Structure 1
Amino acid sequence: MKPQFYRSSVVPVELRCSTGTKACYGKHTHDEFSIGSVDGGHSVYFNTNTETQIGVGSLVIVNPLDVHSCNPALDTDWSYKMLYVCPKWLGYIQTMTVDNPSKNFIPFSQIHTDDPELYRQFQSLASSIIANTENMRIEEECIMFFSRLFHETNTGALNKPIPRINIVKAYNYICDNFKKCISVKDIARNSGLSEYHLIHAFRKSYGITPHAMQVSMRINEAKALLKKGQDIAAVASELGFNDQSHFHRNFKRLVAATPAEYRK
């Protein structure tokens, strides 16, 4: 099967997906940071002059300009995903989450990990990029995944106290703008927090992320409009959903009924 490529319009990443392939790479480098998952079969992974056998559930970590290759084991095929990330953006996220006063990307000392939660989060992020879900969800998942990667493989988190007033500002900003296409950066800027601290402090206060709160507010408004008998497609459009199926999926997930069932 030919490789598939997916790019995000909200974060500087590119995802490559290959299934059941025997394609091999020579040792090479590239300017981007990259991280990839083995989803089927086994691979021979070379990085920093070390060769390692890895399998399903492993994530490879490749710093910019590191000489590396990752190929299927001899006479087999494999499936994998590889995410290429702009180092400048990654350094920006790194500055929020770990002790990095330089604001430049600090290379990872670890070249692969078998952490099951990191693997699960990577697959969730990849699925969101492939499905091209809401921009804010992709933005959140990228920040959450890479902050966990920094903490688990390099150093601990920056634990600074977040004043309650900043979280309230974030909540109020979402309340005032939940119908619009807003970003994590928009909410963070208006609440006086970094994107990383916004997501983690907001979830600690409300039990859900800013994006999940926005979706919940949209669905509550949808219920009010549907009770008035408004057209389902018009409601989906007014509340900023990508399309009717996207609206239907989120409505059923939160209400346990379809929009049509609820309106009837």
Structure 2
Amino acid sequence: MANSNPHFLRSSVLPFELRYSDNSNACYKKHTHSEFSIGVVDSGISEYVNQNIKQTIQPGSTVIVNPEEVHSCNPQKGTNWSYKMLYVEPSWLANLQSKISNKNNNNFQPIQMTHSDCPFLYQGFQSLAQTLIENESAIKVEQTAINFFAELFLIDAKIPSIDIISKKAVDCAYQYISDNFDKNISISDIANISGLSDFYLIHSFRKQYGITPHAYQIVMRINRAKELLKQGDNIASIATDLGFTDQSHFHRNFKKMVAATPKQYKKDL
């Protein structure tokens, strides 16, 4: 039997709400809402209606709905589907748009696309959704969200790339993370120190160093963890002292970089 019950996840970091469902046969009448929404079909075929235009959507496509637009998205008759849908407060998006355009505009500028088959956008959404589901650190959630929506705006505006500014400002951000990698710093904290907007910070940092600010913070934490493990420190204490959400978060990131668990690494020293 199909499971029609949706799951709801509300972010504690950003004004986001994620709705997702697996193997569902639930259908929704045409409706509107005040939030901007964007989502993907994970499995099955969907009939998507936006602004009286009907389209067939399948895995690999991203649907985009501006606030107050009449729309619906349902599985084809007699079939089940799995999907994810993210609802975002327009004011948060408007703020990001202002930073990208360097214009002081308090109103959200509607997206022209109603859907996209861009694989980069599809995978970016899946990454953001997974970050929210796994309840990653605040900086990871911020960074992933800014990255994804900035790319959406650039794709919609048909802007292929951005110019990177001030190497000195990015170096300042790098040093700040180096000095505070064990603290619960945010993208906004780093941006303020460097004098860059959140958007330009992430893109400039990645272009200059080949890694995002959050990824660099994790690298610094894991390197320090290896030193502490060599000294015989307790694994649980290391996770707490280095600012990981919990021991599982520490274990997962350590294994990604060292190809061994903290316990295995400590045992073989």
Equivalent residue, structure 2, for 1:18: 21
Structure 2 unaligned segments of length 5 or more: list them.
Answer: none
1:102 is the counterpart of 2:105: yes
Shift of 1:262: 2.2
Pick aligned residue for 1:59 from 58, 62, 80: 62
Amino acid at match of 2:50: N
Secondary structure, aligned partner of 2:168: helix
Contact 1:98 1:156 in 2 (8 A): no
Secondary structure, aligned partner of 1:80: strand
Pick aligned residue for 2:9 from 6, 13, 21: 6
Pick aligned residue for 2:140 from 132, 137, 148: 137
1:261 is the counterpart of 2:264: yes
Alpha-carbon distance between aligned partners in 2 of 1:86 and 1:100, rounded to the nearest angstrom: 19
Equivalent residue, structure 1, for 2:201: 198
Amino acid at match of 2:42: D
Shift of 1:158: 7.6
Alpha-carbon distance between aligned partners in 2 of 1:156 and 1:98, rounded to the nearest angstrom: 11
Contact 1:98 1:151 in 2 (8 A): no
Sequence identity (%): 54
Alpha-carbon distance between aligned partners in 2 of 1:100 and 1:14, rounded to the nearest angstrom: 27
How many equivalent residue pairs?
264
1:228-247 correspondence runs (5 A)? 228-247=231-250
Deviations 1:109-145 (A, max 9, x none): 1101111111111111111111111121111111111
1:225 is the counterpart of 2:263: no
Pick aligned residue for 2:115 from 112, 115, 130: 112
Q: 1:117 to 1:158 in 2, by over 3 A?
A: closer
Amino acid at match of 1:39: D
Contact 1:99 1:158 in 2 (8 A): no
Secondary structure, aligned partner of 1:17: strand
Alpha-carbon distance between aligned partners in 1 of 2:103 and 2:56, rounded to the nearest angstrom: 32
Equivalent residue, structure 2, for 1:34: 37
Pick aligned residue for 2:159 from 153, 156, 159: 156
Equivalent residue, structure 2, for 1:186: 189
Amino acid at match of 1:165: K
Amino acid at match of 1:97: I
Amino acid at match of 1:111: T
Structure 1 unaligned segments of length 5 or more: list them.
Answer: none
Secondary structure, aligned partner of 2:125: helix
Shift of 1:256: 2.2
Alpha-carbon distance between aligned partners in 2 of 1:69 and 1:50, rounded to the nearest angstrom: 10
Q: 1:41 to 1:100 in 2, by over 3 A?
A: farther
Computed over aligned residues only, the root mean square deviation of the Cα atoms, in angstroms, reads 1.5
Q: 1:249 to 1:158 in 2, by over 3 A?
A: closer
1:70-89 correspondence runs (5 A)? 70-89=73-92
Q: 1:235 to 1:192 in 2, by over 3 A?
A: same
Contact 2:28 2:72 in 1 (8 A): yes
Q: 1:47 to 1:240 in 2, by over 3 A?
A: same
Alpha-carbon distance between aligned partners in 2 of 1:74 and 1:254, rounded to the nearest angstrom: 46
Shift of 1:216: 0.7
1:208 is the counterpart of 2:211: yes
Secondary structure, aligned partner of 2:233: coil
Amino acid at match of 2:49: F
Normalization by structure 2: what TM-score? 0.94
Amino acid at match of 2:109: I
Secondary structure, aligned partner of 2:105: coil
Shift of 1:101: 4.5
Q: 1:158 to 1:103 in 2, by over 3 A?
A: farther
Deviations 1:157-210 (A, max 9, x none): 683441111011101111221111111111001110001100011011111000
